[in-house]
Structure 1
Amino acid sequence: MFLLPKGVMKPKEGKGEAARDAAATATRDGGGPATSGSKAEASSGPVSASAGTTPEQPHTMASAEQRKELSTLAARYQTAEGVGKLRVANDLAAQYQKVQRFDSAGYYYEQVAIAKPGEQAWKRAADQYFEAYSFAATEERAKLLSAKTRELYEKVLKQNPQNLDAKTNMGMALMASDNPVSGIMMLREVLAADPKNEKALYNLGILALQSNQADKAVERFQELVKVNPKNVNGQFYLGVALAQDGKKEQAKQAFLKTKSLSADPGLLTSVNEELKKLQ
């Protein structure tokens, strides 16, 4: 299970890209990120799992104007000093986020955190590496990015062991480690502290699907939509899990509920495809 669907619960999720190939993603050997061509892959450059991770060139999806701005900022970063250098690092990280080069954004946020360490500074860097890890296209890259992600979340949790968001992402990053069971245990610890934690419920549901435990996935997603009936991803994957568990009528109802929650064309296409399979 080295590649994982997006675990971060954000308003933008539930759009077509998150659900487009959901059923195939959930049962694929080793799992895989639910990405589409509209999402910049974090696989276009080398990443080191050590503290010496190097920034990369702008993503090819960046516009000419964005590439020019990144080049200008990079040049300024090389010559800036002190507080000015940190300011440019923040600007560079923000621009890399815009072009969805999350590992590069994480690198620059990490430089800021090194200069001015703190829970939020480390988490900002860790979150960007987690984004990159979530969309890693190869096992090797997933392992490298997850290692870097874990390194930074460890710094966050050292500052605040009760940061449940960091703990949840850390749990997911551990899925690409030599001890993935520890990741599942960490996610369960999050639920023990916060039984209504949507992200933990979602991720445990996805992991259950990936390990062909449809019945357990159903339980997780049912709890998720009970906590938040408007959670689009939760409703969609509940349908996927129910279908895999042989509960076709219940799956149909979950997919119809998904359609009522979003008008996104990509998502509706995916839902309709899943409904056809149930006929």
Structure 2
Amino acid sequence: MSRLQILIVVAAIVLVAVMFFLPKVVVNKEDQGNFAKGETAAATTPEGHSEDDGHDHGAGEGATADVHTPATPEQLMELATTRARYNKATDDQARTQLASELGEAYAAASKYDSAGYYYEIAAEVRGGEKSYKKAGDAYYEAFTFAATQDRAVELGAKAREMYEQVLKNNPSELDAKTNTAMTYVASTNPMQGIMLLREVIASDPNNEKALFNLGILSIQSRQYDKAAERFRKLVSVNPSHLEGTFYLAVSLAETGESEEAKALFNKVKGMSSDPALAASVDEYLAKLN
């Protein structure tokens, strides 16, 4: 996905990529509020996938091939071989198994939209929570790295479609619910996403993914005190959470808690050897000193 910044976030930090597509939000102390009108397009019908056209679904317009490490020659060979077997198979059981294998091969090559497509084919035959969860996770991964907003909306809708099958059978599947929430936040119905995140926190107050996403939403709406609350909870649950520690420091810096922010920024430097992250931390420290 785009590497653009969201508000105070410096470009060097590796963010949850979906943040680029988040609309402006106002999150009050109940995590509710009015959302400003964004430019998020309505979900479109996903592109059709022909099973026999030889097209690499992960490398088309708006796809994510350039965001990840290029596929190795071995991965490309496996993809070609498995796809050829899939296209030639006539037995339904064999095609379902090969569709699952194609999903695995595309996922290994970081072509997550294509992985989702083939996992979905397998899930529609096999059914079951795990099969749909695998398809949803692949589409969600593609969503978070989408190159355009339209593509993110499209892939988010596909992820939701898969997760709906998961949640229909298991409403307590909190990872699926959290991911569904974030696709809604990037849609024309962002409040639905906030409500789902609150449901996750109500079920599991220590859920790291939900705490992180709520904190990011609070930062984006410039509600740094609320963000600090979320990130403080997150790092109490997981003291080694790098992004949570960084954003807690950012939130505290923005609320005037300079000394604690500086201590946390210095802690972040000790948690990662990433030079881009270190440079961003130094930039914040320079502003606080």
Q: TM-score normalised to the size of structure 2?
A: 0.77
Which of 67, 74, 82 is the equivalent residue of 1:73? Answer: 82
- CA deviations 1:56-103 (Å, max 9, x no partner) are 155462233322221221111111233322222222111211221111
Deviates more, 1:118-127 or 1:258-267: 258-267
Alpha carbons 2:49, 2:57 under 8 Å: kept: no
Which residue of 2 is the match for residue 111 of structure 1?
A: 121
- In the TM superposition, residue 27 of structure 1 has moved relative to its aligned partner by 9.3
Write the mapping of 1:23-102 to structure 2, written as runs, cut at 5 A: 30=22, 49-50=45-46, 52=48, 56-57=57-58, 59=65, 61-80=70-89, 81-102=91-112
The yes-or-no answer on 1:160 pairing with 2:137 is no
- CA deviations 1:176-224 (Å, max 9, x no partner) are 2221011001000100011011110001001111222212111100110
Alpha carbons 1:208, 1:217 under 8 Å: kept: yes
Alpha carbons 1:239, 1:251 under 8 Å: kept: yes
- In the TM superposition, residue 3 of structure 1 has moved relative to its aligned partner by 8.1
The yes-or-no answer on 1:129 pairing with 2:129 is no
- In the TM superposition, residue 173 of structure 1 has moved relative to its aligned partner by 0.8
Q: In structure 1, what is the Cα distance between the partners aligned to 2:3 and 2:168?
A: 25
Shift in alpha-carbon separation, 1:117–1:19, aligned structure 2, 3 A: farther
Shift in alpha-carbon separation, 1:242–1:26, aligned structure 2, 3 A: farther
- CA deviations 1:151-178 (Å, max 9, x no partner) are 1111110011111111111111111222
Amino acid paired to 2:130: Q
Which residue of 1 is the match for residue 28 of structure 2?
A: none
Unaligned runs of 5+ in 2: 5-9, 25-42, 51-55, 60-64
RMSD: 3.1
- CA deviations 1:128-167 (Å, max 9, x no partner) are 1111111122211111111111111111100111111111
Shift in alpha-carbon separation, 1:244–1:136, aligned structure 2, 3 A: farther
Q: TM-score normalised to the size of structure 1?
A: 0.79
Alpha carbons 1:113, 1:122 under 8 Å: kept: yes
| Percent identity (aligned) | 47
The yes-or-no answer on 1:236 pairing with 2:228 is no
Q: In structure 1, what is the Cα distance between the partners aligned to 2:18 and 2:167?
A: 29
Q: In structure 2, what is the Cα distance between the partners aligned to 1:202 and 1:190?
A: 12
Q: In structure 2, what is the Cα distance between the partners aligned to 1:3 and 1:209?
A: 19
Unaligned runs of 5+ in 1: 6-17, 33-46
Q: In structure 1, what is the Cα distance between the partners aligned to 2:58 and 2:156?
A: 21
Deviates more, 1:153-162 or 1:255-264: 255-264
Q: In structure 1, what is the Cα distance between the partners aligned to 2:18 and 2:140?
A: 19
Shift in alpha-carbon separation, 1:28–1:96, aligned structure 2, 3 A: closer
Amino acid paired to 1:196: N
Amino acid paired to 1:78: N
Q: In structure 1, what is the Cα distance between the partners aligned to 2:78 and 2:19?
A: 41
